[in-house]
């Protein structure tokens, strides 16, 4: 019994330990997770499904329409019919009339009817419009997915930079603490003054505060990433790629920087909207064409003096079929106004496309310049970090032997902090600018197609 209890405890311990393991994700895994779990994608899926149903709705208009109908009627007052008296009595005086009630108090009519559209130009064009609207909804879903991947990449990069900042502050705190402890020992044997030790303690305290702030920023960045991908907040999430990995990747891709703004999803959607507007114009034009349809109707009618339709009695059939031709003649200018508005809408779409393309080209030029500046600035800041650390190390060594002052050491320490902050900022600029370029060139769209 004791052995079984021990086994159960060991099993529970292993399960809890396995459950406590954090989830590690690469950028591609985070993006894939977001595509599968964000509610915005679910909403986009529902929009696509709704558009597909609208296509079925538009298609059904051209299919046979079959209806069954029934009517029950009771006359509170049976209608009175007035005819010339000579109709019933040839000897009646000229001009005299006879009034009598015609009909039965109760009547029931039941039947089935069917109709079929034979020709309607606007129907076929409207069907094409609905199909293009469905395609537009699917493309809009792609746009939502692209924007989601762009936002996830930004959040992922923020986590990488926040993690790198924590690592940097860890090393600064460790080196500052080491120097402080050395100065404390030297002060105990009378080599340095208390003022020097106090200054180093302030630096150490400031470094620890900055480290704590960096850790809190890292927690916030991870929470933001969880929000972007739809990950549970109460579960641990860890990025399994480093800032250096992505920086090297971006620099290696520098030669393949340029793409085409024609692949931008926003521009592609505008082209599709123009195509839809063109079909809507055709739809309005075809509304001037005749419409031809056929119908078939079969009914049974019964008339009673009492409500006894469930008793044996006469039911009179009526069957008819025919063709209906509707020729539009005049709508008071309404159809013409609708056609002109549709033509204006096509012109608006063309202007929107031209203006958007111009803006995208400008964005491309701006982002390329910013990206080149970011790479150059990154190389400068990498050197500055090394130089600042070298100066701080040399100054610390000089301080230990009494050659450098506390003020010089504090200034060197401040240079290290500034250099590290500038380095993280340069990393952020290069990653975020590259992310914007990928979004501009439709690179995320290619990733979606591969998936």
SS3 content of the chain, % helix, strand, coil (to 5): 70, 15, 15
Q: What is the DSSP string of 54-90?
A: HHHHHHHTTS-EEEEEEEEEE-SSPPEEEEEGGGT-T
Summarised one tens digit per residue, pLDDT across range 397-436 is: 887 677 777 778 788 888 888 898 899 899 999 999 988 9
Contacts of residues 379-384 at CB distance under 8 Å and 24 or more positions apart, as own/partner, are 380/426, 381/419, 381/422, 381/423, 381/425, 381/426, 382/423, 384/419, 384/422, 384/423
Summarised one tens digit per residue, pLDDT across range 267-298 is: 999 998 898 888 888 888 888 888 888 989 99
Residue at 10 is within a domain:
no
107 and 149 in a single domain? The answer is no
- Within 8 A by CB and 6+ apart from 226, the residues are 232, 233, 237
84 and 130 in a single domain? The answer is no
Residue at 214 is within a domain:
yes
216 and 170 in a single domain? The answer is yes
Residue at 422 is within a domain:
yes
How far is residue 451's CA from residue 43's CA, in Å, rounded to a whole number?
A: 20
Render the burial of 390-417: b for 16+ CB within 10 Å, e for the rest: ebbeebbeebbeeebebeebeebbebbb
333 and 202 in a single domain? The answer is yes
Domain boundary among 270, 304, 327: 327
Given a contact cutoff of 8 angstroms between Cβ atoms, the answer to whether 129 and 182 are in contact is: no
How far is residue 63's CA from residue 338's CA, in Å, rounded to a whole number?
A: 26
- Within 8 A by CB and 6+ apart from 430, the residues are 247, 250, 371, 374, 375, 377, 378
* Whole-prediction pTM: 0.76
Split at pLDDT 50, 70, 90, the class of 1 is very low
Given a contact cutoff of 8 angstroms between Cβ atoms, the answer to whether 91 and 83 are in contact is: no
111 and 127 in a single domain? The answer is no
How far is residue 77's CA from residue 427's CA, in Å, rounded to a whole number?
A: 91
281 and 310 in a single domain? The answer is no
Tokens of 115: 């109709």
Which H helix or E strand runs over 107? strand 106-119
What is the mean pLDDT of the segment spanning 434-444? Answer: 87
What is the mean pLDDT of the segment spanning 35-53? Answer: 85
99 and 234 in a single domain? The answer is no
- Within 8 A by CB and 6+ apart from 374, the residues are 426, 429, 430, 433
Considering just the CA atoms, what is the radius of gyration of the chain in Å? 41
pLDDT number for residue 53: 84
- Half-sphere exposure at residue 382, Cβ-oriented, CA atoms within 13 angstroms: 9
37 and 174 in a single domain? The answer is yes
362 and 413 in a single domain? The answer is yes
- Half-sphere exposure at residue 416, Cβ-oriented, CA atoms within 13 angstroms: 24
pLDDT number for residue 8: 47
Summarised one tens digit per residue, pLDDT across range 62-120 is: 888 899 999 998 888 888 888 887 777 788 788 788 887 777 888 899 999 998 888 88
Residue at 160 is within a domain:
yes
Given a contact cutoff of 8 angstroms between Cβ atoms, the answer to whether 34 and 228 are in contact is: yes
Residue at 141 is within a domain:
yes
- Mean residue pLDDT across the chain: 84
Question: Residue 343's domain is classified under what CATH number?
Answer: 1.20.1600.10
Residue at 7 is within a domain:
no
How far is residue 382's CA from residue 387's CA, in Å, rounded to a whole number?
A: 9
Summarised one tens digit per residue, pLDDT across range 195-238 is: 777 877 888 888 899 899 999 999 999 999 999 999 999 999 99
Q: What percent of the chain has pLDDT over 90?
A: 23
Terminal Cα-to-Cα distance of the chain (whole angstroms): 53
Domain count, the chain: 2
How far is residue 254's CA from residue 126's CA, in Å, rounded to a whole number?
A: 47
204 and 233 in a single domain? The answer is yes
Split at pLDDT 50, 70, 90, the class of 18 is very low
Given a contact cutoff of 8 angstroms between Cβ atoms, the answer to whether 162 and 217 are in contact is: yes
115 and 143 in a single domain? The answer is no
211 and 98 in a single domain? The answer is no
Residue at 21 is within a domain:
no
How far is residue 88's CA from residue 82's CA, in Å, rounded to a whole number?
A: 12
Residue at 9 is within a domain:
no
* Domain containing residue 342: 31-62+120-289+329-450
């Amino acid at each position: 019994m004791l052995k079984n209890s021990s086994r159960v405890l060991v099993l529970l311990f292993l399960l809890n330990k396995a459950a406590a393991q954090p989830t590690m994700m690469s950028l591609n895994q985070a993006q894939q997770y977001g595509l599968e779990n964000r509610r915005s994608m679910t909403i986009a899926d529902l929009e696509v499904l709704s558009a597909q149903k609208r296509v079925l709705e538009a298609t059904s208009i051209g299919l046979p329409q079959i209806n069954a109908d029934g009517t029950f009627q009771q006359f509170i007052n049976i209608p009175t019919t007035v005819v010339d008296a000579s109709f019933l009595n040839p000897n009646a005086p000229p001009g005299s009339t006879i009034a009598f009630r015609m009909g039965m108090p109760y009547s029931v009519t039941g039947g089935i009817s069917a109709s079929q559209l034979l020709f309607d130009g606007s129907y076929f064009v409207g069907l094409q419009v609905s199909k293009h609207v469905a395609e537009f909804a699917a493309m809009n879903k792609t746009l939502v997915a692209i924007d989601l991947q762009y936002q996830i990449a930004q959040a992922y990069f923020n986590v990488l930079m926040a993690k790198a900042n924590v690592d940097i502050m860890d090393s600064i705190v460790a080196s500052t603490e080491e120097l402080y402890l050395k100065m404390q020992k030297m002060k105990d044997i009378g080599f340095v003054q208390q003022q020097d030790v106090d200054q180093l303690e302030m630096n150490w305290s400031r470094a620890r505060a900055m480290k704590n702030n960096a850790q809190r920023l890292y927690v916030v960045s991870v929470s933001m990433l969880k929000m972007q991908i739809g990950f549970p907040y109460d579960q641990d999430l860890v990025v399994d790629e480093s800032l250096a990995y992505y920086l090297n990747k971006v620099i290696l891709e520098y030669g393949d920087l340029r793409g085409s703004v024609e692949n931008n999803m926003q521009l592609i959607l505008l082209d599709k909207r123009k195509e839809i507007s063109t079909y809507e114009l055709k739809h309005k034009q075809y509304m001037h064409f005749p419409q031809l349809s056929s119908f078939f109707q079969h009914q049974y009618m019964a008339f009673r003096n009492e409500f006894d339709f469930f008793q044996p009695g006469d039911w009179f059939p009526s069957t008819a079929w025919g063709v209906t031709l509707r020729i539009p003649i005049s709508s008071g200018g309404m159809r013409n106004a609708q056609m002109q508005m549709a033509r204006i809408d096509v012109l608006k779409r063309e202007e929107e496309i031209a203006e958007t393309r111009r803006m995208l080209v400008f964005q491309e030029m701006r982002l390329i310049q910013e990206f080149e500046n970011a790479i150059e600035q990154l190389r400068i800041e990498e050197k500055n970090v090394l130089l600042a650390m070298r100066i701080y190390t040399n100054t610390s060594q000089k301080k230990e032997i009494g050659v450098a002052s506390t003020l010089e050491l504090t200034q060197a320490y401040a240079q290290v902090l500034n250099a590290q902050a500038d380095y993280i900022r340069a990393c952020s600029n290069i990653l975020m600018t590259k992310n914007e370029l990928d979004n501009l060139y439709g690179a995320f769209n290619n990733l979606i197609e591969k998936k």
